[in-house]
Structure 1
Amino acid sequence: MRPDFAVSPNSDAINASSAWEAELSLGFAQRGDKTVLAKREHRGPLTVQRPFYPEGGVCHVYLLHPPGGIVAGDQLSITATVEPDAQALITTPAAGKFYRSGGGEARQNVNLQVAENASLEWLPQETIVYEGARLNSTMSIDLADQAHFIGWEILALGRPAAGEGFENGTANLNWRISYAGRLLYLERLRLDAEAFQARWGLFGHSACGTLFVYPATAWQLAAAQELIGDEANRGVTLIEGLLICRGLDRRADLLKGFFEKVWGLVRVDVVGKAVCAPRIWAT
């Protein structure tokens, strides 16, 4: 174990020999009237709890990272495959944490594959990027024909409650979404001290996030626009059936609350179920 890093965000130099390389591979399949976790393989400190079924057949899974935080040199790889007709929801029991770095980079790669008539909801709690951290995150989502997906990413840069901004450090965020073998969306975003403060960037807001929904319709776009109304720092667009909702806020929990409302608007149409928030969010 690495308890010193789990409790201290102020480690400026990380010994390469202490870095974690962790891999997790999950497979979901429909068995009878419910989705089961048919495959679970892991290496290193990355695993899942037993599945939960708070809404019948949808399989809810919580990702666990026992060290409690990610430091320079750590490399995490997560793969999830959802077979035809299966329905899965993946979340986390707590916020992810990327700690201060002395110069090295921490990497996280997530690869999600959703088959025909299947649905996947990727709804992790927020990721806290401490001042001085260096994060490189890649999300790759491959959707088959008639696949359904809802996913979000919420970042909290620095710790404003502790008087910490984001005067140094970087977060490189990469999203790639394909549908039926065709590239649908590609984004590369770099957040640093300049982007954190600039009017063209976050303008001092510590929380930022993006929500993706596929397939989406003009009706859902209009519903999200009505929800936003005149509220500042919120936006939504629809590109080739992909709903993209963005937000800035001073607190990550407020931004997550907004995304949950959008989730409530679209879930019945996309997943065929009313919203059923994971119980772990209430603890």
Structure 2
Amino acid sequence: MSAVPATEAAAPEGWRAGLELGFAATGSGKTLLARRRHHGPLAVQRPFHPEGGVCHVYVLHPPGGVVAGDRLSIRVEADPGAAALVTTPAAGKFYRSAGPLARQSVALTIAPGAALEWLPQETIVYQGARVASTTRVDLREGARFLGWEVLALGRPAAGEGFEAGEAGLDWRIDLEGQPLYLERLVLDPWAFRAHWGLRGRAALGTLFAYPATAAQLDTVRGLVGDRPDLGVSLIEGLLICRGLDARADVLRRFFEQVWAALRPGVMGRPACPPRIWAT
């Protein structure tokens, strides 16, 4: 069994951290980070505008990992007409725990005519971690959304599987207050190994796009091809692409291809990958 990371030992009672971001469009068509509040170890770097009007922001978690008892809360609001892309500079990490759950909640609110892309790099859940993660997306009529979640269970490159621990993933996407997508997923060592579960695949992920069309569904089907661990569906305008892989970085690179193919139609602009993805 690996040693307890220093970060875990240093904060037995857990961090409490929150971040609130609000994006607003200007008269010139440029989106600004108009509102920013935080407490505890959550922050953002200086906003970028690499493609003109769209505001790119990187969310930072300086401790580098989440441990037992930590509670992280992120809220992002895109005002009418705003266009923003939010990502992270590195993979997130949840360290192993013999104590309380580590909790993370994300709430995204997208106003009419606004466009928000929620594209964090992958999250690594160490063997023995106990995680509860919730993501809520509140879409208003005319809103546009592209987002994903990529999870790695254990550290295959270090010879670590997922023989202990639990990760609870809770997603809800509403359109005008009505549920469009609901999912509650609990991953433990049995689900990790089982044929009905991950079949030992260390990485899993889901990508969402709204609003999407049948033509865009066909585009993603072309990228999926006949690979059995990838799939895509379209439900009431919400495109859902899911995947399993032995490696989270490989799965995220596939999702980047899907994102690049969908972005012109969903967001009305060509793909402009954040520079941090190339480092």
Give me the TM-score of the superposition, normalised by structure 1. Answer: 0.95
1:21 paired to 2:16? yes
2:54 is aligned to: 58
Name the CA distance, whole Å, in 1 between partners of 2:177 and 2:71: 27
2:249 is aligned to: 253
* SS of match in other structure, 1:57: coil
* Structure 2 gap segments, 5+ residues each: none
Number of equivalent positions: 276
1:131 paired to 2:127? yes
Deviation, 1:8, is 4.2
1:172 paired to 2:180? no
1:46 is aligned to: 42
1:91 is aligned to: 87
> 8 Å contact 1:13–1:101 — kept in the other structure?
no
* Structure 1 gap segments, 5+ residues each: none
> 8 Å contact 1:156–1:207 — kept in the other structure?
yes
Amino acid at match of 1:182: Q
Q: Percent identity at matched positions? A: 63
Name the CA distance, whole Å, in 2 between partners of 1:108 and 1:114: 20
Name the CA distance, whole Å, in 2 between partners of 1:23 and 1:231: 39
Deviation, 1:227, is 1.2
Name the CA distance, whole Å, in 1 between partners of 2:188 and 2:107: 25
Amino acid at match of 2:29: D
Q: Give the aligned CA root-mean-square deviation in angstroms.
A: 1.5
Name the CA distance, whole Å, in 2 between partners of 1:120 and 1:212: 12
> 8 Å contact 1:76–1:108 — kept in the other structure?
yes
1:201 is aligned to: 197
Paired residues for 1:125-274 under 5 Å: 125-274=121-270
> 8 Å contact 1:12–1:102 — kept in the other structure?
no
Name the CA distance, whole Å, in 1 between partners of 2:156 and 2:9: 20
> 8 Å contact 2:69–2:99 — kept in the other structure?
no
Deviation, 1:181, is 1.8
> 8 Å contact 2:69–2:103 — kept in the other structure?
yes
Query: Runs of 4+ in structure 1 displaced over 6 angstroms?
Result: none
Name the CA distance, whole Å, in 1 between partners of 2:236 and 2:161: 37
Name the CA distance, whole Å, in 1 between partners of 2:172 and 2:35: 24
Name the CA distance, whole Å, in 1 between partners of 2:95 and 2:180: 33
* Pair 1:219–1:162, CA change in 2 (3 A): same
Name the CA distance, whole Å, in 1 between partners of 2:23 and 2:159: 42
